[in-house]
C-alpha cells in the first residue's frame, strides 16, 4: 500500500516535477543536517554547548523550555516558540 503523498505524485506529474525541483534546491542550501564543512562544525559546536548547559542545569532529556544564546554570550531559558520564531531581516538571527 502506497502513501497518499506517493499516490498523489504518481497521478500528478506536473506537481511531482515541481516538488523534485524544490527538493533539489533545498538540498543545495546548507541547513541543519544538510550542512557540510565548516558550517556543520559550527552547528555541532552550538548543539554541544546547548546540551552540556542543559545537563549542567539538570534539565537534559526532560523537555521543557529551550536554551537561547544571548548577545552577551550567555544562555537563558525561553519558550520554544519564541526562541525559534525569532528571525531578523533576511533570515539573520536576532539574539535575545
> What's the pLDDT at 84?
76
> What's the pLDDT at 94?
65
Strand partners, 78: 66
For residues 86 and 96, the answer to whether their CB atoms sit within 8 Å is yes
Three cell numbers, residue 39: 558550517
Q: Along the chain (96 residues), what's the average pLDDT of each consecutive run of 10 residues?
A: 88 95 78 68 83 90 84 86 72 64
DSSP states of 21-65 as a string?
A: HHHHHHHHS--GGG--HHHHHHHHHHHHHHHHHHHHHT-TTS--P
Alpha-carbon Rg for the chain, nearest whole angstrom, is 19
Q: What is the pTM of this model?
A: 0.51
> What's the pLDDT at 34?
61
Amino acid at each position: 500500500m502506497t502513501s497518499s503523498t506517493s499516490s498523489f505524485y504518481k497521478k500528478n506529474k506536473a506537481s511531482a516535477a515541481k516538488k523534485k525541483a524544490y527538493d533539489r534546491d533545498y538540498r543545495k542550501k546548507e541547513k541543519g543536517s544538510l550542512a557540510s564543512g565548516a558550517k556543520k562544525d559550527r552547528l555541532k559546536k552550538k548543539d554541544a554547548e546547548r546540551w552540556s548547559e542543559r545537563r549542567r542545569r539538570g534539565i537534559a532529556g526532560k523537555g521543557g523550555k529551550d536554551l537561547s544564546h544571548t548577545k552577551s554570550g550567555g544562555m537563558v531559558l525561553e519558550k520554544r516558540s519564541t526562541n525559534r520564531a525569532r528571525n531578523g531581516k533576511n533570515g539573520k538571527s536576532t539574539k535575545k
